[in-house]
Structure 1
């Protein structure tokens, strides 16, 4: 992704369009877009041709870019024993690992980075009804491994806005639900995690089409990305107009949600209400992740 960001910066500094760059390597503007977003690996010949087009001729600079390309083409940890992962989700895992800020709005279920194994298992079983228990378990293990980014020495800031309805649903049964609420409560006390609850009467779903994740990166060469997961694929938005729109919606949702300092009290109140909360069904797409 760093390589792609730097190539984009060089192209823009050269005053060239993606279409012009694509023509130079016998490709298309969409190929350049995929390269710049880190969605696909780059062949050494294409890299050299692009760098020459952008005016990079110094041998040391060329070698540095070639090393970046080798690093970019190295598989991440999630590739091991996970050959079932679709390519569209593979890209998200790389972005998630590199993000400095992860802002997530979730109207249906607790966001994946805070799910307990039992809660995740219940959701994934719902989302993939034809899979074996072993296949579901692989998905659970992957989801738990993703959460390790929150325990790194320099973790990303995780900012979650969750609908009250998503927290009330006792997915997996009372015991699983209670443990999940406790997990969110514990996470909300960490300095790099912000959790806000959006009350049902606010009408959060009316502000957006559904769940989304807004990713921001420390590397200046990497643009922000909005990730929209769908039933059989995902959209990655990086155009400025799209970023502005989703950032505005995220800010509106944050303003309308309860302040972060109220979250522990709200979650504790949910726990106390447990005997009066009925088990509620959740739509299949709430558990559609990997």
Structure 2
């Protein structure tokens, strides 16, 4: 079984939890065992099996061994390969130091983001988090958490800046960021903050692994109906399924079934085709900057 490219430390742990959970789900379904029966086998609930299969929790050697037996996996080499992953699923990531401002559902995303080989997203309201300046990120955090203590705001900003390390890494992911023009026009943080942010976008558009496209205002109705989403691709590394990330107000949804991921990729392609070209996007950035 191949390793997960792009994953290291906590990022690798998240990726391997998803990898192991996905494999266990396929084995359970192939053997005709229900989640309820699987939970009974390891003295746990059906919801615990669901969380395990989604990679939301760590794994214990005993639980995985018992489940493999229940699913009829008897070949020693196959058992050994899966059990070897267990010890790699519980390594804490850098974001654990910010646990008081990073909810568990977003910690999963941070691990996936670091392990991904390709990140493709559509943003409606704000500039993509990986592309934000520190001042813009602070304004966004204040907007979403108006009653938070100053220290908490600064720690949220620190998390956002730490995420951007992957763009400077030699083996970092490819990034396709499709943004609605409204995100460029919304005066988040004031005139000077927006000027610096738009200038930064112009610089990042020259990055060899970043494709930045803008969906201009007044183009069709697709942007309004699809909402923001992110597709994380892993190039098939380690049998890790691609993921769709949908953030909500107090939680997030992760989709990994091929049909669901394919549907979002289709929507993303339609958004890409409907957006300005890379050159047109740079032109719009310059215009928006002049308009400030």
| Class of the TM-score when normalised by the shorter of the 2 chains | 0.7 to 0.9
- Give the whole-Å Cα distance in 2 for the aligned partners of 1:77 and 1:173: 31
Which range moved further: 143-152 or 228-237?
228-237
Q: Tell me, yes or no, if the aligned pair for 2:119 and 2:230 is still in contact at 8 Å.
A: yes
- 2:234 match: 217
Q: Tell me, yes or no, if the aligned pair for 2:95 and 2:159 is still in contact at 8 Å.
A: yes
- 2:245 match: 227
Report how many residues are paired. 273
- 1:258 match: 276
Gaps of 5+ in 1: 275-290
1:184: Cα distance to partner? 1.2
- Give the whole-Å Cα distance in 2 for the aligned partners of 1:126 and 1:211: 18
Q: Kindly tell me: are residues 12 and 143 of structure 1, through their superposed partners in 2, closer, same or farther at Cα, counting changes over 3 Å? A: same
Q: TM-score scaled to structure 2, two decimals?
A: 0.84
- Give the whole-Å Cα distance in 1 for the aligned partners of 2:144 and 2:78: 47
- Give the whole-Å Cα distance in 2 for the aligned partners of 1:184 and 1:28: 47
Q: Kindly tell me: are residues 87 and 69 of structure 1, through their superposed partners in 2, closer, same or farther at Cα, counting changes over 3 Å? A: same
Q: TM-score scaled to structure 1, two decimals?
A: 0.85
Q: Deviations over 1:22-64 (max 9, x none)?
A: 4433445543332232111112221111222344445565454
- Give the whole-Å Cα distance in 2 for the aligned partners of 1:130 and 1:258: 38
Q: Deviations over 1:149-182 (max 9, x none)?
A: 1111211111111011111122111111111111
Which range moved further: 161-170 or 218-227?
218-227
Q: Deviations over 1:192-221 (max 9, x none)?
A: 11111001111343331x211111113252
- Equivalent residues in 2 for 1:27-38 (5 A)? 27-38=44-55
- Give the whole-Å Cα distance in 2 for the aligned partners of 1:263 and 1:20: 54
1:15: Cα distance to partner? 5.7
Q: Kindly tell me: are residues 150 and 60 of structure 1, through their superposed partners in 2, closer, same or farther at Cα, counting changes over 3 Å? A: same
Residue aligned with 1:71, SS: coil
Among 180, 186, 196, the alignment partner of 1:169 is 186
Which range moved further: 9-18 or 252-261?
9-18
- Equivalent residues in 2 for 1:50-69 (5 A)? 50-57=67-74, 62-69=79-86
- Give the whole-Å Cα distance in 1 for the aligned partners of 2:140 and 2:185: 15
- 2:114 match: 97
- Equivalent residues in 2 for 1:36-55 (5 A)? 36-55=53-72
Alignment of 1:76 with 2:76, yes or no, is no
1:136: Cα distance to partner? 0.1
- Give the whole-Å Cα distance in 1 for the aligned partners of 2:39 and 2:32: 14
- Give the whole-Å Cα distance in 2 for the aligned partners of 1:237 and 1:200: 29
Among 269, 275, 285, the alignment partner of 2:287 is 269
| CA-based RMSD | 2.2
Q: Deviations over 1:75-133 (max 9, x none)?
A: 11110243442111111111111111111111111011100100000110111011111
Gaps of 5+ in 2: 1-17
Which range moved further: 256-265 or 175-184?
256-265
Q: Tell me, yes or no, if the aligned pair for 2:223 and 2:271 is still in contact at 8 Å.
A: no
Q: Tell me, yes or no, if the aligned pair for 1:163 and 1:204 is still in contact at 8 Å.
A: no
Residue aligned with 1:155, SS: coil
